[in-house]
Amino acid sequence: MDGLTFVQTVRKRPQWRGITLMMVTTESEHSQLVRALAAGAHEYLMKPFPPEAFIEKLDILGLNPSGCVA
């Protein structure tokens, strides 16, 4: 099961609506990524990434409970 199929499967289940989905991908998976975002993924991060980039994405999604900064 690829990432896109996973996103589509999760998004079909009403009780999983509250789940935030972030894709971690490579440059070569770009077209699949765009489709995954359209299917309901919230954010993506391109590999390789520095730790700050990951924390920054959590901030954008409002999911940084510890409040740690990049």
Positions touching other proteins (CB under 8 A) are 1-3, 5-6, 9-10, 14-19, 24, 34, 37-38, 40-44, 47, 51, 54-55, 58, 60-68
The residue among 31 and 66 lying less far from other proteins, judged by its C-beta, is 66
Whole-number Å distance between alpha carbons of 23 and 37: 9
Q: Positive or negative CA dihedral for 5, 11, 14, 17?
A: positive
Element (H, E) at 44: strand 43-46
Please report how close the Cβ of residue 44 comes to other proteins at its closest, in angstroms.
Answer: 6
Q: Taking the CB of residue 63, how many other CB atoms lie within 10 A of it?
A: 12
Please report how close the Cβ of residue 36 comes to other proteins at its closest, in angstroms.
Answer: 9
Please report how close the Cβ of residue 20 comes to other proteins at its closest, in angstroms.
Answer: 9
